């Protein structure tokens, strides 16, 4: 099995952490893709993933999974222990809701701000094989969305160890990556967000978070 990664990018970090939490790091070959150098746009990589993005997980039979969700769901089915997407039907639904929220309201907000406001990403406002011009108004909107994400994160963690309760899940992985990704914009959890700051310190101390 292969995992196409980029050590400096937030999207594949979500799968890298997942693989580590499953105890699979030493059992899956990691292939580093130099995004800054444009390796993801080459014909060679397009043959692997025509979306020109990482993460990608390639199964032993050559089947490839081209999104964070695809990688997670394949690995969850292939290696169910420890479960990271829910331990029962109700929890599975709850984790899915929370992860969707963290991805949509957090991860996409940071990406919106970064890709539309960073000069080196001129004409690369969206990932993928097609160039799109930046829209400065979207950069500002993304910056406005991030503090709202932080506030809601703090509310959700009131009285909870993790987002889904007493259980570490993919929702925590995405939310952690959002908070750290927001640091690229110099946006950080406010001092008043005691619940979120406590959670962030605890989750950041997990070995998977250091990878």
What is the pLDDT confidence band of residue 207, given thresholds at 50, 70 and 90? very high
Q: How far is CA 194 from CA 20, 59, 147, 156, 168, in A?
A: 27, 41, 14, 12, 19
Q: Which helix (H) or strand (E) holds 148?
A: helix 136-156
Query: Can you list the alpha helix ranges (DSSP code H) found in 157-193?
Result: 170-182
Query: What are the residue ranges of CATH 1.20.1050.10 in the chain?
Result: 89-210
pTM of the model: 0.97
Query: What are the residue ranges of CATH 3.40.30.10 in the chain?
Result: 2-78
Q: Distance between CA 70 and CA 76 in Å, rounded?
A: 10
Question: Do the beta carbons of residue 166 and residue 202 sit within 8 Å?
Answer: no
pLDDT by residue (tens digit) across 165-204? Answer: 999 999 999 999 999 999 999 999 999 999 999 999 999 9
Q: Distance between CA 173 and CA 18 in Å, rounded?
A: 8
What CATH architecture does domain 2-78 belong to? 3-Layer(aba) Sandwich (3.40)
What CATH architecture does domain 89-210 belong to? Up-down Bundle (1.20)
pLDDT by residue (tens digit) across 17-43? Answer: 999 999 999 999 999 999 999 999 999
Length of the chain: 211
Average pLDDT of the chain, as a whole number = 97
């Amino acid at each position: 099995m292969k995992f196409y990664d980029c050590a400096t990018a937030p999207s594949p970090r979500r799968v890298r952490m997942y693989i580590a939490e499953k105890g699979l790091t030493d059992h899956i070959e990691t292939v580093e893709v130099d995004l800054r150098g444009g390796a993801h746009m080459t014909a060679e990589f397009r043959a692997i993933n025509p979306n020109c993005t990482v993460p990608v997980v390639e199964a032993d039979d050559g089947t490839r999974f081209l999104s964070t969700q695809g990688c997670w769901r394949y690995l969850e089915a292939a290696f169910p222990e420890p479960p990271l997407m829910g331990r029962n039907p109700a929890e599975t639904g709850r984790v899915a809701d929370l992860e969707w929220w963290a991805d949509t309201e957090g991860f996409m907000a940071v990406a919106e701000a970064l890709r539309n406001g960073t000069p080196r990403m001129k004409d690369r406002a969206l990932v993928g094989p097609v160039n799109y011009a930046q829209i400065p108004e979207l950069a500002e909107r993304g910056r406005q969305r991030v503090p709202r994400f932080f506030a809601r994160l703090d509310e959700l963690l009131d009285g909870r160890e993790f987002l889904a309760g007493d259980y570490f899940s993919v929702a925590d992985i995405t939310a952690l990556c959002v908070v750290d990704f927001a640091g690229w914009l110099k946006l950080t959890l406010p001092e008043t967000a005691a619940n979120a700051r406590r959670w962030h310190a605890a989750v950041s101390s997990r070995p998977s978070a250091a990878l």
